[in-house]
Chains A and B, each alone.
Chain A
Amino acid sequence: MDRIPILRMGKFLLVTIQIDLYDRLATNLETDLVQMVSKTGARGVLIDISALSIVDSFMGRILGNIGSMSKIMDAETVVVGMQPAVAITLIELGLELKGVHTALNVEKGMELLTTKIGSYEDEELEEDEISPE
């Protein structure tokens, strides 16, 4: 069965979708990714869809699902490199991908994830500092 590889890089998981997703592949990705998040304790998920040229409502929903699922497992999701046509299609379908962050490219997506998680960790750190007093 075809699977999309999920790469682990430090606190983040990287997914690059290089082929057009069919429904089975997308549901597999959803399951794999959530399991991977739980297994590795990843804090951020970056999905690169720059090679994806066709998207339907199912695909849009899967992306939204991944975002929401990761969110409740304490990981931020960033979708990067969306094609203009894909963006227009998703909007026309009424899918705004709430709960998913977006960035132009992998570099900016990584930056976004780092700041998101970094700021959160700073807060934790501050709390830790304050609590002993």
Chain B
Amino acid sequence: MKIDIARLLQKKRSQILENWMTNQLADAGLREDLMSNDDLREQSDELLTNFLNIISDKNIGDSQSSDFEPVYEILSGISMSRARQGYSPRETGVYVFSLKDALLRTLQTELKDDPGAMIEAVLKINRLMDSMGIITFETFIKGREEVILRQTDEITEISTPVIRVWDGILALPIIGTLDSARTQVVMESLLQEIVESGSTIAILDISGVPAVDSLVAQHLIKTVAATRLMGAECIISGIRPEIAQTVVHLGIDLSNIVTKASLASALRYAYSLLRLEVKKVQNKHLL
């Protein structure tokens, strides 16, 4: 007599859920700080119910069957949200594999009189759960990558602040390596700010740029040229000795760009262009 594994498992749903929850709660790495036990149970129940509803005698041997798509979708959602919440890969893995454990234990008790059927059922369930495990990891890593991508965007966004140092003078401290994408952001925000503030002088401070190669220099020259086209003067400041060395060794010509060693000297130069003067006040009572 052939035993319907799917129906057998469906009948034992609550027992499997109990076993699964016990497995999960028994794990030392359970993250109660990230998700309460009730939420965890609800989540597990949803996944298990869907899985057991879909599983049938026909598709149990075929993990690629399109019947399982809803289950995989739920699983992907859970995995993705776990990645965002900061679960470790191990914790996410344990979540899925403890379900496998619970299913197999149920099969073991139910089919203990028929070793042949038991082995067959165990193999099928194993294969199914393995493919679920793979999907979990795939989406988990995808979720993590999304987090990283978002953070990269945020860093690019916040790392290029355009500061109004004085009426008509903008400063843009660049921190971190300049690549094409960042230069684009830097250039756009600088030009936009020039238009908005009506500034005539922009100071690009590159003291936070770790290394200047010919590509970075090319980007800098482009930015300066674009600023000039807008009708503003661009000064590059913060040229460290190492940067001066590499620039000269690479044979990059910066001679038609105003360069200053420090932001202070660039600012002094900007003041002189605007015919401004900074004076020390003689009488301190004036303050």
Cα–Cα distance between A15 and B195 once the two chains are bound (Å)? 20
Given the complex of chains A and B, what is the CA–CA distance between A101 and B200 in angstroms?
13
A97 proximal to B (CB < 8 A) = yes
Chain A proximity of B278: nearest CB distance (Å) = 23
Are the CB atoms of B187 and A88 closer together than 8 Å? Answer: yes
The residue in B184, B191, B194, B198 that gathers the most chain A C-beta atoms within 10 A of its C-beta is: B191
A36 interfacial by beta-carbon distance below 8 Å: no
Closest Cβ of chain A to B133, distance in Å, is: 48
Could you tell me the distance in whole angstroms from the C-beta of A71 to the nearest C-beta in chain B?
Answer: 17
- Answer whether residue B88 sits at the interface, using C-beta atoms and an 8 A cutoff: no
With both chains docked as a complex, state the minimum distance between the C-beta of A105 and any C-beta of chain B, in angstroms.
7
**0/1 interface trace, chain B 176-210, chain A, CB 8 Å (1 if under):** 00000000100110011011001110000000000
Among B19-27, B31-39, B94-102, B225-233, the one that faces the other chain is B225-233
Q: Which residue of A lies closest to B193 (CB)?
A: A84
Q: Which of B49-73 contact A (CB under 8 A)?
A: none
> A residues 84-110 with Cβ under 8 Å of B?
84, 86-88, 90-92, 96-97, 101-105, 108-109
B231 and A108 form a contact (CB under 8 A): yes
Taking the complex as formed, is A80 at the interface, i.e. its CB lies under 8 A from any CB of chain B? yes
The answer to whether B229 touches A91, judged by C-beta atoms less than 8 angstroms apart, is yes
Interface residue B222 (Cβ < 8 Å from any Cβ of A) = yes
Given the known inter-chain contacts A102-B230, A104-B230, please indicate yes or no for A84 contacting B225, CB distance below 8 A: no
User: Closest approach, in angstroms, between the C-beta of B107 and any C-beta of chain A?
Assistant: 65
User: Is B200 in contact with A84, judged by CB distance below 8 angstroms?
Assistant: no
Instruction: Give the contacting residue for A91; candidates B198, B226, B231; CB below 8 A.
Output: B226
Given the known interface contacts A104-B194, A104-B195, the answer about A84 and B230 at a Cβ–Cβ threshold of 8 Å is: yes
- List the A side residues contacting B194 at CB < 8 Å: 84, 104
Residue in contact with A84 in the complex, picked from B188, B198, B199, B222, CB distance below 8 Å: B188
Report Cα–Cα, A84/B225, bound state, in Å: 12
B residues within 8 A CB of A108? 200, 231
With most chain B CB atoms within 10 A of its CB, the pick from A84, A88, A91, A103 is A84
Apart from A84-B230, A104-B195, what are 19 other A-B pairs with CB-CB below 8 Å?
A79-B229, A79-B231, A80-B231, A83-B195, A84-B188, A84-B226, A87-B226, A87-B230, A88-B187, A90-B226, A91-B222, A91-B226, A91-B229, A96-B225, A97-B229, A102-B228, A105-B198, A105-B231, A108-B231
